[in-house]
Amino acid sequence: ALFLRVSLFRLKDLEVAELGDSDVHVKMLAAPINPADINMIQGTYAILSPLPAVGGNEGVGEVLEVGQRVAALKPGDWVIPAGAGLGTWQTRGVFPEETLLKVPSDIPLLCAATLSVNPCTAYRMLADFETLAPGDSVIQNAANSGVGQAVIQIAKAFGIKTINVVRDRPDLPKLVERLMALGADHVVTEEMLRKPEMKDIFKSIPKPRLALNCVGGKSTTEMLRHLQPKGTMVTYGGMAKQPVMVPVSAFIFRDVRLRGFWMTQWRKDHAQDQEGLTSMMDALCQLIRRGQLAAPACTEVPLQDYKAALEATMKPFTSSKQILLL
C-alpha cells in the first residue's frame, strides 16, 4: 500500500536566490494540493524532482521584481507555472522567465491558483478527442473531482450535456445538489450505471460520444456500456489503482477507441505552439469572468498548517481541494 509520510515534510526558512538577468522574483499567493502532487511525493508519478525539493506543481504568485532581460513581465503581474515541477509551496521564489505564464489579475485568486491543471485538462479533453456540438453528451466518473467540476461547467457553457458518475456516500444528496448547481445534467452513482433507469436518461439526451475516466477498474467497464459506437474513452487518472477493463465485444462490435491524456505531456508537445496555449488560457479566463467557471470547492489553509492539509487531501470522499495560502 502506498502512503504518504507527512513527516517527510519540513517547513524551512531559506535565503531567496540571487535574481539573474532572465529571472523573476515571485511572491507566491496561493497553491493547491493536487492528487499529482501527492503521487510525486509517493514516487509513483512520471516526473520526480531531485531531492531535497519544494512540493507543489500549481499556484499563483505576484511578480515583485524582474531581471534586466525580462520583457514580458513586470512587478504587480500575476503568474502561474508554465509546466510541472516548479515547487509552488513556498512564500517566495526566483524562477526563470520561461517557467512562468502571465495571467490576468482581475480573476478571483482561487481561480488563478487552480487554473493551470484541472480546467486545462478538462478543456483539452472536451476539445481534442471528439468533435462535440451543442446537444451532444459526455459521461465522466469522479465527477466531483477538480477536473470533473471543470468539465461540468465548460461543457455547460458550450451546450454539451453531462452525465456525471460519483461514488455512493453518506452525504450523496448534498453532492448531487452541488453538481447540479454547477450545471450537471445528470448525476448517477456507479451502481446506477448497471440499472435499467439509465435508459430513461437516454430518452432526453443522446448516448455519449466521449467518456472521461480517472478511476479505472469496474467504473470504466460500466461507463463503456453507455458509449456510442465509435465513441472515445479518455483515461487521465487511475484513482482505483486498477486496470481499465474492456470487454472484447466493445472493441469488435462497437469499435470504441481508448486514449490517454496527460496535461504535462500536452504542454511539452505544444511548447512551440504559443497560440494554442494562449487561446486556451483566454477561453478559460473568459468563462471565469462571465461567471461560467468557478474554482473547485476549496478549503483555504495557512502554510503553517500544511500537515493537516496534506492529511485532508488523502482522506476518502474529499470534495474540497486544499489550498495553501502563502
Q: For 286-295, what is each residue's pLDDT tens digit?
A: 999 999 999 9
Digit-coded pLDDT (tens) for 131-160? 999 999 999 999 999 999 999 999 999 999
Total residue count of the chain as it appears in this document:
326
Helix (H) or strand (E) holding 285: helix 274-289
The three grid cell numbers given for residue 9, joined into one nine-digit string = 515534510
List the one residue out of 101, 146, 139 whose CA is nearest residue 122.
146
10-residue averages of pLDDT along the chain (326 residues): 61 90 97 90 83 91 97 97 92 96 96 96 98 98 96 98 95 95 97 93 96 94 95 95 93 97 95 93 97 95 91 80 94
Location of C-alpha cell 509546466: 83
Name the DSSP class of 231: -
Domains of the chain in sequence order: 6-114+296-325 (3.90.180.10), 118-263 (3.40.50.720)
What local confidence, expressed as pLDDT, does residue 118 receive? 96
Catalytic residues: 45
What is the C-alpha separation between 135 and 148, in angstroms, rounded?
A: 19
**What is this structure's pTM?**
0.93
What local confidence, expressed as pLDDT, does residue 5 receive? 62
Instruction: Count Cβ neighbours within 10 Å for each residue of 195-206 and write b for 16 or more, e otherwise.
Output: eeebeebeeebe
Location of C-alpha cell 487554473: 115
The three grid cell numbers given for residue 283, joined into one nine-digit string = 477561453
Distance of CA 240 to the CA centre of its chain: 17
What local confidence, expressed as pLDDT, does residue 2 receive? 45
